[in-house]
Amino acid sequence: MTYPYDNFYGMLSEAVETYPRKTVIFIETKKYTYREFLERVDRTARALELLGVTKNDTVALICPNSVEFVQSVFAINKLGAISVPINTMLKNEEYRYILNDCGAKVLITGSKMAKETADLCDSVESLRHTIWIDRAPREDHKHTVFDEMVNAALHTHLSASSHLDDTAVIFYTSGTTGHPKGAMISNRNLMSNLIAAQERFNLTPRDRFIVYLPMFHSFTFAIMVILPFFIRGSFVIIPSILPFSTIIKQTFLKRVTIFMGVPDIYNALIRAKLPWYFLWFNSIRCFISGGSALSRDTLDKFESTFRRAVMLEGYGLSECSPAVAINPIGRQKTLSVGPPLYGYEVKVVDDEMLELPIGEVGELIVRGDCVMQGYLNNLAATEEAIHNGWLRTGDMAKIDEDGYIYIVDRIKDLIISKGINIYPRQIEEQMMLLPSVKLAAVIGISDPHSGEVPIAYIELEEGYEKTSPSQIKSELKEHLAAFKIPKTITVVESLPKTATGKVLKRILKDKSAS
């Protein structure tokens, strides 16, 4: 793969030469041209430099969706430093662990997070400064306000010092057990994703994205924030996912062409009472879904609701920068995440890492320039994850004769009952085909007779509140073998989810064990 830039600051600089007056970012009532944005980035880089940020330093962002987040990332990249975007919904103790682990020198945050972040400068040894994007709870030598800092910095024309194989960003995985791990992603890793995504989606400078999912997430960061700069396009920033009507309104008014989301969002979209003019006159040419699998029911409803746009499912993980596979436009296969992106290789292997025949289920492994450099400060975990350049994803999958990937389940979610493999995703999909079930999550629990048995937690659709678990079991018996029917079905008001809508099964497992 040939790379046109060494870093994404260089990518921005070249975009300004071509489209200086083109609007690149829309947010609420404001908009920024490529030239205006570059000027903000340069001033931010100088301000961070004056705070002592140099090459290979880490700068953490516990920050809502904002222009300040984006310009900080580009400024950090210009300095050859490393961005560490962190989940904004964690607690103080979790932040302290991550900041200590990556040795963050500077933290960029907002007043909405002040309860959990205000004292981090005092409790994290490496942390020298906290920059507040709006207002600071206190102002002293350790705390400063973003705009005041940037406006006071006189821009100096320093060249970017970040190289292709330098670490550009560290994404901390949510971690199913123990502490989260920091996946180190280089400029090369990210650039490979941008090149591959442009090729797969036929993207042009006319395309416009909408960014409402949290920017700290690897999917949003790379494919929704950095990619528009690569294609010389533009994007709309939505500071908060609620109210949902704002996303709909801005998608329509700003003439968004590429809409990326996760199953939770698409389920909400097909249930929303969308105005007729939105359905007829929106500019969306492509919906892209990642994070977790869409159910067949959602795909069918989506196709009948949005007839002028295609829905493309994709697959990725933070350790792969993050995109690995996406369905091609015009050649998508239902329930598949598509073939691997340009320049990447995939295999399905058994426990001995031997490749399995077409159609057989095993662990999906990935090789290519998307694969992370490793886990920060964790050589043992890195060696466990990467074998001869191949990344073990931990996902069970199969590949068809055309090279299309089908994700079957997570290895850790696999249920083995009396020696028989049970894939929770299959049960979940069948449950969500029932009119009464809005969302389902199936986990395995220990059983003295079978080893493990499946149990389910579900959210009910509006109007079906009186549906009983026994009624759901009865309906499932028509479609599933007896050993796949959940032993218990628990109705909950809301399943625990990540910021991108993925159900947190570890919380359900902890709940069932208590």
What are the helix and strand counts (H, E) for the chain? Answer: 18, 26
Q: How many CB atoms lie within 10 A of CB 175?
A: 11
Query: What does the mean pLDDT of the chain come to?
Result: 92
Which of 40-49, 114-123, 135-144, 493-502 is least confident?
493-502
Over residues 271-282, the pLDDT tens digits come to 888 888 999 999
Query: So what's the pLDDT on residue 176?
Result: 45
Give the residue-averaged pLDDT of 407-428. Answer: 86
User: Rounded to an integer, what distance in angstroms lies between the CA atom of residue 249 and that of residue 501?
Assistant: 21
Above 50 in pLDDT, residue 84? yes
Homologous superfamily (CATH) of 414-513 is: ANL, C-terminal domain (3.30.300.30)
Give the residue-averaged pLDDT of 292-302. Answer: 81
Q: Is 293 left (phi over 0), alpha (psi -120 to 50) or beta?
A: beta
Helices 8-18 and 187-201 pack at an angle, to 10 degrees, of 50
The residue assigned the tokens 């040795």 is 103
Give the residue-averaged pLDDT of 211-234. Answer: 96
φ/ψ (deg, to 5) at 98: -65, -45
Query: So what's the pLDDT on residue 175?
Result: 53
Domain boundaries, the chain: 35-184, 414-513
> CA-CA distances (angstroms) from residue 190 to 197, 203, 316, 439?
11, 17, 13, 33
Share of the chain above pLDDT 90, in %: 75
Above 60 in pLDDT, residue 405? yes
User: Rounded to an integer, what distance in angstroms lies between the CA atom of residue 240 and that of residue 157?
Assistant: 34
Above 90 in pLDDT, residue 468? yes
Query: So what's the pLDDT on residue 178?
Result: 64
Supply angle C-alpha 179, 99, 6, rounded to 5: 105
Share of the chain above pLDDT 70, in %: 98
Amino acid at 89: M
Amino acid at 132: W
Which of 181-195, 238-252, 283-297, 303-317 is least confident?
283-297
Query: So what's the pLDDT on residue 92?
Result: 92
User: Rounded to an integer, what distance in angstroms lies between the CA atom of residue 306 and that of residue 272?
Assistant: 13
pLDDT band at 166 (very low <50, low <70, confident <90, very high): very high
Over residues 434-450, the pLDDT tens digits come to 999 999 999 999 888 77
Query: So what's the pLDDT on residue 501?
Result: 78
Query: So what's the pLDDT on residue 402?
Result: 97
Give SS3 for 151. helix
Closest CA to 424 of 385, 390, 396, 382: 396
What is the CATH code of the structural domain delimited by 35-184? Answer: 3.40.50.980
User: Rounded to an integer, what distance in angstroms lies between the CA atom of residue 497 and that of residue 202?
Assistant: 32
Over residues 332-344, the pLDDT tens digits come to 898 899 999 999 9
Query: So what's the pLDDT on residue 489?
Result: 96
User: Rounded to an integer, what distance in angstroms lies between the CA atom of residue 33 and that of residue 402?
Assistant: 43
> What proportions of the chain, in percent to the nearest 5, are helix, strand and coil?
35, 25, 40
Above 60 in pLDDT, residue 426? yes
Closest CA to 218 of 48, 425, 104, 372: 372
Query: So what's the pLDDT on residue 449?
Result: 77
pLDDT band at 174 (very low <50, low <70, confident <90, very high): low
SS (H, E, C) 213-236: CCCCCHHHHHHHHHHHHHCCCEEE
φ/ψ (deg, to 5) at 190: -65, -45
Give the residue-averaged pLDDT of 311-319. Answer: 94
Query: So what's the pLDDT on residue 243?
Result: 87
Which of 72-76, 243-247, 317-321, 402-406 is least confident?
243-247
Over residues 124-146, the pLDDT tens digits come to 999 999 999 999 988 788 999 99
Above 50 in pLDDT, residue 73? yes
Above 50 in pLDDT, residue 71? yes
Give the residue-averaged pLDDT of 216-229. Answer: 96
Give the residue-averaged pLDDT of 310-321. Answer: 94
- The listed range with the strongest mean pLDDT (393-407, 409-423, 477-491) is 393-407
Over residues 181-214, the pLDDT tens digits come to 999 999 999 999 999 999 999 999 999 999 999 9
Contacts 24+ apart (CB under 8 A), 249-254: 250/26, 250/210, 251/210, 251/278, 251/282, 251/284, 252/277, 252/278, 252/281, 252/282, 254/26, 254/208, 254/210
With beta carbons less than 8 A apart as the criterion, state whether 385 and 391 touch: yes
Above 80 in pLDDT, residue 430? yes
Q: Is 513 left (phi over 0), alpha (psi -120 to 50) or beta?
A: alpha
